[in-house]
Structure 1
């Protein structure tokens, strides 16, 4: 049975770490927990997990935003399915959940960025989920 739940407690957030680490390898458990808690407190970040038979198999983190470019939208910060569970439809279910959350909360769109090297993810977003490429994202480390 598949269920999607928001993760609130430190224990719940840490439970998702083995999956999220597959996308965000730069974090250890401590830095991951700290940044998730700060983002939840200061930036309206929401963390959800998709459970299959009681086990976390996919995780998404997103935040509702308002900008002049996108208007009212939901930014997907993180979306990952456990490596051994990919191509089972879990990513589609979780991203569809985010889209429904956006609709129910009166946001106009859902946006995300994806690393240039992630060709399979790009095919998933464009071909399976109907997303279009809207821009390049630029970053400068300080």
Structure 2
């Protein structure tokens, strides 16, 4: 996760994961190979007027030394199955504008549609 969320130290990360888990039902799932974490996803169920009952993928990262091995797809498949099993019929996520490789992955490898931009204002 440090490769994706470079701005957090370990203590801040653990604190936010604990708070998000307690308040937002955030789930953190890791994929292991030979006892080592090779990919991680964090997601949470949501109910919104635009997506109804949906799952938001907050985080998805494969270790930089283990990309293009299908790990990201396996984790998204897990999120999709979890969502179906819990009656959530949409999975969505946002991806930084600069992450062109990720966008190709979402559109061509896992069949996600590009449907909107996400806007942010820091307060």
TM-score, normalised with respect to structure 1: 0.85
How far apart, CA to CA, are the structure 2 residues paired with 1:66 and 1:80? Answer: 24
SS of residue paired to 2:122: coil
How far apart, CA to CA, are the structure 2 residues paired with 1:121 and 1:95? Answer: 13
Is it true that 1:58 corresponds to 2:39 in the alignment?
A: yes
Indicate the residue corresponding to 2:65 in structure 1.
84
How far apart, CA to CA, are the structure 2 residues paired with 1:90 and 1:102? Answer: 18
How far apart, CA to CA, are the structure 2 residues paired with 1:105 and 1:50? Answer: 21
Aligned length: 123
- CA deviations 1:4-47 (Å, max 9, x no partner) are xxxxxxxxxxxxxxxx0100000010110010001001111000
- Selected match of 2:111 from 123, 130, 138: 130
User: Which residues of 2 match residues 99-118 of structure 1 at below 5 A?
Assistant: 99-118=80-99
SS of residue paired to 1:73: strand
Is it true that 1:120 corresponds to 2:101 in the alignment?
A: yes
Indicate the residue corresponding to 1:4 in structure 2.
none
TM-score, normalised with respect to structure 2: 0.98
Indicate the residue corresponding to 1:11 in structure 2.
none
How far apart, CA to CA, are the structure 2 residues paired with 1:125 and 1:83? Answer: 17
Is it true that 1:67 corresponds to 2:44 in the alignment?
A: no
CA offset at residue 110 of structure 1? 0.3
Unaligned runs of 5+ in 1: 1-19
- CA deviations 1:28-71 (Å, max 9, x no partner) are 10110010001001111000000112111000000000000000
How far apart, CA to CA, are the structure 1 residues paired with 2:52 and 2:115? Answer: 14
